Amino acid sequence: MSSPSEIADPTTLYQVRDGVYAPDLLIAAVVNLDLFTWIERQGPVTEAQISAGLEVATRPLDVLLTYGAALGLIERQPSGVISLTDLARQQLVADSPLSLHAYYASLAERPAVGELTDVLRTDRPAAWASARTGGSGAGWSQRLDDVEFARGITAAMDARGVFLGPALAAAVSDLPATSILDVGGSSGIYACSLLAGRPAARGTVVERPPVDVAARLLLAERGWDSRVDVRSGDIFTDPLPQGHDLHLYSQVLHDWDEPRVRHLLGASYAALPPGGWMVDHDAHIDADKRGPLANAEYSVLLMHSTVGKCWSIGELALFAADAGFENVSYRRTVAHRGALVAQKPLT
Ligand SMILES: C[S@@+](CC[C@H](N)C(=O)[O-])C[C@H]1O[C@@H](n2cnc3c(N)ncnc32)[C@H](O)[C@@H]1O
């Protein structure tokens, strides 16, 4: 492995992969919703008015407005009022003399445009990677039951962690953790990264079958199985194990809706000792929900194929505080990722 100073920055490659569905959402918004013409006719509107007027579900609308704001098309006021920028007014409103409406319409038959339009309307995720597996087993979470699919996804998660893991470890190196619980830890690559700088510490990966099997295999192959064990279980139906002073959620919360995110933070709060740490490593949206563009794009992929999205730093800070955590801070890492850190009170 090259030393960090020798690694060419792969941020663009993460952004291209993670943002793969984003242009299709813009096409869906311009053509199938005619969002920009509708807002222009209404004048400044609230999200609730757009949701009711265009029959779009709250979660995908939030993702769309964040993406529109990051592209410089939507003004998103702190009050929640939404209006168009000059760029959107001139180029994306149907009857503007400069309108690109027809240009975008020429690509509206792309399959992903139809899938994203369905998600906007129903809030139900589409098939992972738009695969034609058919039936109700097509969702990302259900497909993880399949051993081959689970192995492929675990390899994917592991591959991105080679670059992201050390950066996360550096960002939280000041936290005096002795035992790390990597919740939904996949191959355990982030637990290993955090443990590399803490020679006396140990770790546990919590994973559901059959990913747990893939995780054990990879940890053993890398010689980490003496310091990191894998606990098989369901993070939503089983309590999280006690005895760990740092709980890591790496790119896990973005797969889930608000009730389940709140459930997980509550479960961590219950299992952590006083003074313990919760770390959420992810591609977060800024608190004002106007960027960064790369994460607004990634949020479209998550909206397409899961019940989640890229959560904003503000939303997560609120959920963490509601769960009882304090001392919430944010540390940026690499490839548009960062770590939201929160602490269970000492008393
Ligand atoms: C998007 S991956 C993130 C993996 C890794 N933490 C990372 O940063 O790449 C989400 C992980 O959560 C795990 N997971 C999903 N549902 C779960 C459940 N109900 N119980 C335990 N693990 C679950 C999946 O198996 C998967 O490895």
Query: Coil, strand, or helix at residue 314?
Result: helix
Query: Coil, strand, or helix at residue 310?
Result: coil
Q: CA dihedral in degrees (335, 140, 265, 194; nearest 10)?
A: -40
By most ligand atoms within 8 Å of CB, the mutation choice from 207, 237, 301, 309 for ligand 1 is 207
Confidence at residue 274, expressed as pLDDT on a 0 to 100 scale:
98
pLDDT tens column, 157-212? 999 999 999 999 999 999 999 999 999 999 999 999 999 999 999 999 999 999 99
pLDDT tens column, 68-126? 999 999 999 989 999 999 999 999 999 999 999 999 999 999 999 999 999 999 999 99
Distance of alpha carbon 85 from alpha carbon 73, whole angstroms: 5
Task: Answer yes or no: is 220 within a domain.
Answer: yes
Domain range holding 73? 18-124
Query: Coil, strand, or helix at residue 142?
Result: helix
Confidence at residue 4, expressed as pLDDT on a 0 to 100 scale:
60
Complex ipTM: 0.99
Domain boundary among 70, 91, 124: 124
Active site residue 304: no
Residues 66 and 203 in one domain: no
- Assess contact for 26 and 44: CB atoms under 8 A: no
b/e sequence 320-329, b meaning 16+ C-beta within 10 Å: beebebeebe
* Catalytic residue selected from 244, 254, 304, 336: 254
Residues 262 and 118 in one domain: no
Residues 158 and 301 in one domain: yes
Of 280, 308, 338, 283, nearest to 70 by C-alpha is 283
**Residues whose beta carbon lies within 6 Å of some atom of ligand 1:** 144, 157, 161, 184-186, 190, 206-208, 211, 234-236, 250-252, 255
Q: Ligand 1 centre from 314 Cα, in Å?
A: 23
Residues 90 and 211 in one domain: no
**134 pLDDT higher than 60:** no
- Across 243-254, average pLDDT: 98
- Across 289-296, average pLDDT: 98
Confidence at residue 232, expressed as pLDDT on a 0 to 100 scale:
98
